[in-house]
Amino acid sequence: RRKSEESAMIPGLLALSVAALFTGAAVYINIVEQPARLVLDDRGLLAEWKPAYARGFAMQATLAIVGFLLGVAAWWMAGDWRWLAGAVVLVANWPYTLLIILPVNRKLDATPPEKAGPRSRALIVHWGRLHAGRTLLGFLATALYLVAATV
């Protein structure tokens, strides 16, 4: 390995770690948190989703940006396009969230828990399917970073 490739391993391995954390959180939401909240009644479901989403958004948004910046740093230092590809895929969660998921979030946020019903439940079920897209982006970014780290 060239010297620049070796020095890129620190930001690269950090990028891989952050992408894996992002993906782990996304998987947790899809396979643990979402199914657990769906057993609640409509009012409890909406009341639980609102603060849980706010906390999850803050964490995952931060991880996506940090993982992106670390991936770009690794690409800059090593010149390996896989680091840049992983960074772009990881940060793609931002436009995906803003363009695809945010309209659903706004409808849910505008619904008071006392007005929860079949419509809000259907929106939360739909939100869960949309969130699976974030999980897939996380897996892809993690895989790209893993390949870049092992090549």
* Concatenated DSSP letters of 13-51: HHHHHHHHHHHHHHHHIIIIIHHHHTTS-HHHHHHHHHH
What tens digit of pLDDT does each residue of 70-113 get? 999 999 999 999 999 999 999 999 999 999 999 999 999 999 99
pLDDT in tens, 42-81: 999 999 999 999 999 999 999 999 999 999 999 999 999 9
